[in-house]
Structure 1
Amino acid sequence: MTTFSVSAVVLLGILLVVFIRNKQMKIGFAILAALFGFFLAKTSAATPIQSFLDQLATTLNNLTK
């Protein structure tokens, strides 16, 4: 099983931010964004992020009722 360190996720995140800020989001960068999400899901940050997104979705759902 291959494991990726947090530093790989940080590097991909930094590259993604740079490409988005420079308005150069092309197919290669979209693949980079997908890889960033894939690697991020394998870190310990995945659970808090998922919890935050669940709370955000619940809040938005309650606002529309």
Structure 2
Amino acid sequence: MILSCSGVVFLGTVVFLLSRRCGLRIAHAITCALFGFYLASTAIAPSIHAGSESLAGLLGGLRF
């Protein structure tokens, strides 16, 4: 749950910064969000979730 909330906040911040700095239009951001919602209801959603958890575990294990 914490990983999911922080991921949402991070991605929301990225979309906001891209819309302000790089010319990402709000329509593009809304389209991407809708695509994500529709993708979450498909059969590939568990694979995407497992991949994101693996990536988060990998990034969490890095030591600098």
Higher Rg? 1
C-alpha RMSD of the superposition: 1.9
The answer for the alignment partner of 1:39 in structure 2 is 38
Choose between structure 1 and 2 for higher RCO, CA contacts under 8 A separated by at least 6 residues.
1
2: CA distance between counterparts of 1:42 and 1:64?
35
Q: What do the CA deviations read for 1:3-61 (whole angstroms, capped 9, x no partner)?
A: xxxxxxxxxxxxxxxxxxxx863011111000000000000010000000000000110
Uncovered stretches (5+) of structure 1, i.e. residues with no partner: 1-22
The reply to whether residue 58 of structure 1 matches residue 51 of structure 2 is no
**Residues paired across the two proteins, number:** 43
Using the size of structure 2 for normalisation, the TM-score is 0.60
Structure 2: where are the runs of 5+ without partners?
Answer: 1-21
